[in-house]
Amino acid sequence: MGLRANPTYRQRRFGAEVRAIRERAGMSTAEAAGVMGMRQSHISNVEAGRTGLSPERLRALAAASGSENTTHIDALVELGQASGKGWWTEYREQLRPSLLDLAELEDRAVNIVCYEPMFIPGLFQTLAYATAGYQGGYALSSREQQGRELDFRMRRQRVLKGEPPRIHAVIHEAALHVSWGSSETMRDQLLRLIEVGRLPNVTLQVLPFDGRVGFGTSFTLLEPAVPQLSTVVVEHVEKPLYLGDPEALARYRNWFARLCEAALPPLAPEGNTEAYLVKNSLGLIQRLLYPLLQEEPHVSARVAEVELQ
């Protein structure tokens, strides 16, 4: 089998974890090659994500390095043996590899935490809101390409169905004031946000203007069953950064915890009227929503479902 020309994030991450095991044991590539019965050049290609490694050789390296965390090694074996195929596979050659990497990470996640300073998180967006964002954004792409990316974003939301991961989102109040498209678009998006926030697996908080200064950059932490293999995706104007080293994971977990402390209390799925008398995330969203509702001559049944009881 030839070497991979463009390894995926999962393949690169597997290689990085193999390198970390070797380096923690103080082993050179030559020593590791001897332990696993392979050429030194093969080790370099494994660690770069250009080729795989059999479970037997990985376990041999782990044993020689004195690694006792069998849960981590088992998860790493699974990561290395994964096919990488899923619903996102049909978009290969059509979309940026980073988008496919994100979908694969979401598919494997049991916990997702995210912070958004200017936009509604992609997993919570309505089609109209997402469309307005693409059409009014700065990215130069054809309508055909925009259509593919919009379809991809909407299909990502299937992670909310079946056995969904636990999702905790902190959204800055600024994102709720941005007017994309018509007032109807923003009305429906705020309604959608309330509906999603009431899902039992979703925790939604708003960081208010009068709170602590928030981050200017959005980030998402995706945690699989073994947190050691988590990934932070940090948005950037050029391309997103994918970080998996222990220091970065600890840093972003700490930052998210501080954002949660500064944000308003979350929307409670079982909330009652008394609960909404205090200042909280739902109350803020509703205060922004009601003026938009007044612009419509009739309140739809869907709107009535999310009004206060």
Domain carrying residue 188: 88-306
Say if 4 falls within a structural domain: no
Q: Are residues 93 and 181 in the same domain?
A: yes
What's the whole-model pTM score? 0.86
Q: What confidence score (pLDDT) does residue 276 get?
A: 44
Say if 279 falls within a structural domain: yes
Q: What confidence score (pLDDT) does residue 137 get?
A: 62
DSSP notation for the chain: -PPPSS--HHHHHHHHHHHHHHHHTT--HHHHHHHHTS-HHHHHHHHTTSS---HHHHHHHHHHHT---HHHHHHHHHHHH----SGGGGGTTTS-HHHHHHHHHHHH-SEEEEEESSS--GGG--HHHHHHHHHHSS----HHHHHHHHHHHHHHGGGGSSSPPEEEEEEEHHHHH---S-HHHHHHHHHHHHHHHTSTTEEEEEE-TTSS---SS-EEEEE-SSGGG-EEEE--SS--EEE-SHHHHHHHHHHHHHHHHHSPPPPPTT--TGGGGS--HHHHHHHHHHHHHHTSSS--HHHHHHS--
Q: What confidence score (pLDDT) does residue 179 get?
A: 76
Q: Are residues 35 and 67 in the same domain?
A: yes
Q: Which of 37, 64, 81 is a domain's end point?
A: 81
Say if 117 falls within a structural domain: yes
Within the chain, which residues score under 50 in pLDDT? 272-277, 297-304, 306-309
Q: Are residues 132 and 163 in the same domain?
A: yes
Q: Are residues 142 and 233 in the same domain?
A: yes
Work out how many domains the chain is built from and give that number.
2
Q: What confidence score (pLDDT) does residue 270 get?
A: 57
Q: Are residues 75 and 93 in the same domain?
A: no
Q: Which of 47, 81, 115 is a domain's end point?
A: 81
Q: Which of 81, 108, 126 is a domain's end point?
A: 81
Q: Are residues 157 and 43 in the same domain?
A: no
